[in-house]
Amino acid sequence: MSSKSITTPVRYTTTAKLLHWVLALALIAAIGIGLYMVSLSFSPQRLKLYNWHKWLGVSILALSLVRLGWRLANKPPALPAAMQARMPAWQHLAHHGTHHALYALFFLVPLLGWAYSSAAGFPIVFLGLVPLPDWMPVSPALAELIKPLHQWSAYALATLIVLHIAAALKHQFIDRDGLLLRMLPGPRG
Ligand code: HEM
Ligand code: HEM
């Protein structure tokens, strides 16, 4: 093992860990609220949840921008050499591929939700205080076109999240290689 790999930090930065866990909770909540609210019949409760879902969604969008900026400026720690050597090529590909696809969906899903809202003629007033711009013309036909795109991209995101968590648990409990520690509190080195 080279001296470089010995000194390579093992954990993600505190900021990356904070963003990871705050966004993990926010995304799970947005998916849960989204699935629940569409099952309700028209009522003040349904309307309230739609607003919460939209506010949470645009907050996720903003935080994802911060996250992407941080991620580009701060290279994640390299996988420990022993772990890299044990992982077959497909696992390397799945590891990086899942992370890239997750990042793409962090933007695509809320942008499609916002586009749908705009096209359907329901402007977003963030926290009931700040009106956000509509960036799609109001058009029922366009709204009907975008709605399934928001739904299916959200299902794709949920599927990737399940795969991601299953992989993290496999590393922790089957491979027992300490990968999870990289995302948990503790010193970096
Ligand atoms: C909504 C749920 C989640 C999402 C969207 C998510 C997303 C991500 C992303 C994008 C990364 C890449 C690093 C980064 O840029 O932050 C990552 C890393 C990681 N996540 Fe998650 N995550 C979620 C939940 C979880 C859970 C529940 C666990 C643990 C059981 C977990 C364990 C990890 C670990 C260990 C890494 C580091 C992998 C490595 O060392 O390369 N994640 N996650
Ligand atoms: C990452 C953020 C988001 C996630 C994970 C998410 C997820 C979901 C899910 C799972 C559904 C239910 C789909 C179904 O089964 O019909 C849904 C519906 C919906 N979402 Fe989002 N969403 C997000 C962001 C947004 C944003 C930013 C907006 C608008 C500003 C939005 C507006 C809507 C609307 C209006 C519906 C209801 C569509 C209908 O009436 O069928 N979402 N979302």
Q: What is the pLDDT of residue 2?
A: 38
Pocket probe for ligand 2: among 28, 38, 39, 43, the residue whose CB has the most ligand atoms within 8 Å is 38
pLDDT tens per residue, range 117-164: 999 999 999 999 999 999 999 999 999 999 999 999 999 999 999 999
Q: Where are the domains of the chain?
A: 14-183
Q: Distance from the CA of 119 to the center of ligand 1, in angstroms?
A: 33
Residue 49 and residue 71: Cα distance in Å, rounded?
Answer: 31
Q: What is the pLDDT of residue 189?
A: 61
pLDDT tens per residue, range 78-113: 888 888 888 899 989 999 999 999 999 999 999 999
Q: What is the pLDDT of residue 186?
A: 83
pLDDT band for position 6 (cuts 50, 70, 90): very low
Please name which of 113, 140, 107 lies closest in space to residue 54, comparing C-alpha atoms: 113
Q: What distances in angstroms separate CA 117 from CA 19, 51, 123, 149, one per listed residue? A: 26, 11, 6, 12
pLDDT tens per residue, range 22-65: 999 999 999 999 999 999 999 999 999 999 999 999 999 999 99
Q: What is the pLDDT of residue 101?
A: 98
pLDDT at 8 over 60: no
- 8 A C-beta contact, residue 109 and residue 157: yes
Q: Which CATH architecture has domain 14-183?
A: Up-down Bundle (1.20)
Q: Distance from the CA of 28 to the center of ligand 2, in angstroms?
A: 12
